[in-house]
Amino acid sequence: ITGRKQIGFLSLSSQESFLANLKAHRLALLPGLCWSNLLRNWGSWPSPQSLFPSPAELPEGCHQLFLAGQRSSGVFQVQPTGSQPFKVYCDMTAEGGWTVIQRRLDGSVDFDQLWDAYKNGFGDLRGDFWLGLEKIHHLVQEGKYNLLIELEDWEGNSQVVQFVFSLGGESTAYTLNLLGPLSGELENAIGEFRQLPFSTRDRDHDLKADTNCAKHLSGGWWFSTCGHANLNGKYFRSIPRQRHERKQGIFWKTWKGRYYPLKSTIMKIQPAALETEP
């Protein structure tokens, strides 16, 4: 509302100053221009905004930014087709740009959030964050994307999982569709289900009828029957003593097991059919 008021104020003041200029320079009687016409057309004057050139086109994602020559990682503004601009963290490698959609590094952000938070995103793009399902959906709507998941344990080991996917919109509860086999050494924690809707404590879309997986565990995730994976669980530095707490950690069952709380996770996306530099 403030913005609109300001635009109104600016357009009024620019019209006033234009008239003042006309008077000052005694240009009131230009050919074809008379005061009554000027006043009658008051409302149809172009707004000051339309007089300025439109801002430079934003990249649709990090790989497009990479193709445009950006080589260092960091936070950048992007604008996928049909979306408002928003900020993302770009992880630039030698081969291309990855748009980071999730990161867990130190437990500084509470991931036990409800549907709207998972829809819109939360956290700090330079630290722990969830980009937001709506933004991820906009980023991948143009085609097939690779999802690369990097996991790290507390002994300095790491693992990667990668697969091609698409993500439906909110009307599908942001259903994750696996479009190909998983690569990497880890399988089955997501891969045995070809389609999984997203669930949070307040929106149970999981595959376990008598349980709310998000409530039973923690956070929001593409839960199947609760026990396969949850990278948005609670951040623990050691295995909790209490059994109910143990279930709430960040885990990927087919690597370190159901109750091992992972040290760090990163999820990032990139177009599956990579455009390369000319």
Shortest Cβ distance from residue 209 to Ca ion (Å)? 6
- Measured from the CB atom, is 161 or 226 closer to Ca ion? 226
- Measured from the CB atom, is 62 or 213 closer to Ca ion? 213
- Measured from the CB atom, is 106 or 192 closer to Ca ion? 192
- Binding site residues, Ca ion, CB under 5 A: 204, 206, 208
Shortest Cβ distance from residue 99 to Ca ion (Å)? 30
Shortest Cβ distance from residue 199 to Ca ion (Å)? 7
- Measured from the CB atom, is 162 or 248 closer to Ca ion? 248
Shortest Cβ distance from residue 227 to Ca ion (Å)? 13
- DSSP secondary structure string for all residues of the chain: -HHHHHHHHHHHHHHHHHHHHHHHTT-TT-TT--HHHHHHTGGGSPPHHHHSPPPPPPPSSHHHHHHTT--S-EEEEE--TTS--EEEEEEE-SS-EEEEEEEESSS-S-----HHHHHH-EE-TTSSEE--HHHHHHHHTTS-EEEEEEEE-TTS-EEEEEEEEEE--GGGTS-EEE-S--BSS--STTTT-SEE--BBTTB--SS-TT--HHHHS-S-B--SSSSSEETTSB--SS--SSHHHHTTB-EEHHHH-TT---SEEEEEEEESS-----
